Amino acid sequence: MKLFKLFFASMLAVVMTSCLGDPNNTITQDFSPYCLSYVYDTTTGDNVVTSGATYQLVNNIDKGTIDIDISGVKMPDGTYIAFDVKGTRYSYNDQGAMTLYVPSTSFLAGGATRSVTDLRMEYYSRYLGNQSFPMLLLSYMIDSRYFVRVIYSPAYYWGTTTVTDQDGNVFTNTDQTSFYGVQFDVDTKKASFAAIGAKFAQGMPSLNMVFKDIDYTLDYSGYKLTKAELTPTIGDTPYPSYKITDFKMEGYWGGVQYVSFTCTIDTERLKGTYRVESALQIIPANTSNQ
C-alpha cells in the first residue's frame, strides 16, 4: 500500500466489534496496527522502540469499565511481556477523552511476579464530520524500572497555521478541514509528515501533501523531526514546484505539536516563498470528540 494511502487508511481502520445482544454490552477495539512501544530502562538508560505488540480495549458499557489487553511488548533485554487489566472504571477529562488510572497491579512471567504501576490511559474518539480519527495515549511502569509509552502512528493534529510570504504579508488558516499527520517507521528510522487540505496562500488550492524520509528522534516525553530540504508528493507524484526547506516538527505526547517549514512555490498560477508555522493540538476548537 502506498504511503499516502496508509495515512488515510488509518482514519477508519481501528477494528471495532460489539456485542449488543449480550447482557454485558461490550465494544472491543484493536489498536495494535497503529501502536509502537517505546520502552526506557531507567537504570541503564537503554531504550527500544518496536512495532507488533497487541493493544486491545474492551469497553463494558453497562458497567462503565474497560479491560486492557497487552502482549508482545519487547523489553530492552530482548524478552517480551504480556498482561491485562480487568474491570477498571473510566471517566472523562475536560477534552472528552475516556481516561483511567491503575496505581498498581501484577502478572506472572517465567514463574516470577512482575509489577505494573502508574498505568495511565486517555482515549480520544475524535470525529470531523463523519470521519473518525481515534487517538490512544497509554503509559505504564514495569518493575518500577522500565517506563513504557505507547506511540500512536500515524497520529493526526489540528490547529491554526500562520503563513508569512516573502513580502511580509500574513495568511492565517483556521479551517479545521486542514490538518496534519505524523507517522514513524521503526525499521527505516524515518518519519513521514502529511499536510491534509494544505493551503499556504490565498490563491493556493487545498492540497494533500506528504513529506517523506524525515529524520527523527524520540524519547519518553516527545519527538523531533528535521529535514533540510525535501520534495513533497501529491497523490504519490513528486512536486518539485512546491519545494520544502528547513522542515522542523517538535511534539509532546498528549501535548502541543509545533511545525515549521518554508515552502517555495513555482507554478504558473502561483509563485513565492512562504514561511509556514503551526501549533497543533489533539482536540482543537470546532473538532468533536464523541
Entry pTM: 0.88
What H or E segment, with its residue span, contains residue 98? strand 98-109
DSSP string spanning 115-149?
EEEEEEEEEEEEEETTEEEEEEEEEEEETTTEEEE
Report the candidate in 4, 22, 29 with the shortest Cα–Cα distance to residue 234: 4
Rounded-to-integer distance, Cα 138 and Cα 157, Å: 17
**pLDDT tens for the chain, residues 1 to 290:** 344 455 555 544 555 555 544 556 889 999 999 999 999 999 999 999 999 999 999 999 889 999 999 999 999 999 999 999 999 999 999 989 999 999 999 999 888 999 999 999 999 988 887 788 899 999 999 999 999 999 999 999 999 999 999 999 999 888 877 899 999 999 999 999 999 988 877 777 788 999 999 999 999 999 999 999 999 999 889 999 999 999 999 999 999 999 999 999 998 888 899 999 999 999 866 555 55
CA–CA separation, 236 and 1 (whole Å): 11
Q: What is the four-CA torsion angle of 252, 256, 260, 263, rounded to 10 degrees?
A: 110
Res 286: pLDDT:
53
State the Cα–Cα distance between residues 175 and 179, nearest whole angstrom.
9
CA gap 270, 284 in Å, rounded: 30
Give the cell for residue 86.
Answer: 480487568
**Amino acid at the residue 4:** F
pLDDT for the residue 11? 47
Q: Which residues of 258-288 are buried (b: 16+ CB within 10 A; e: fewer)?
A: bbebbbbbeeeebebebbbebebebbbeebe
198: closest CA among 136, 274, 125?
Answer: 274
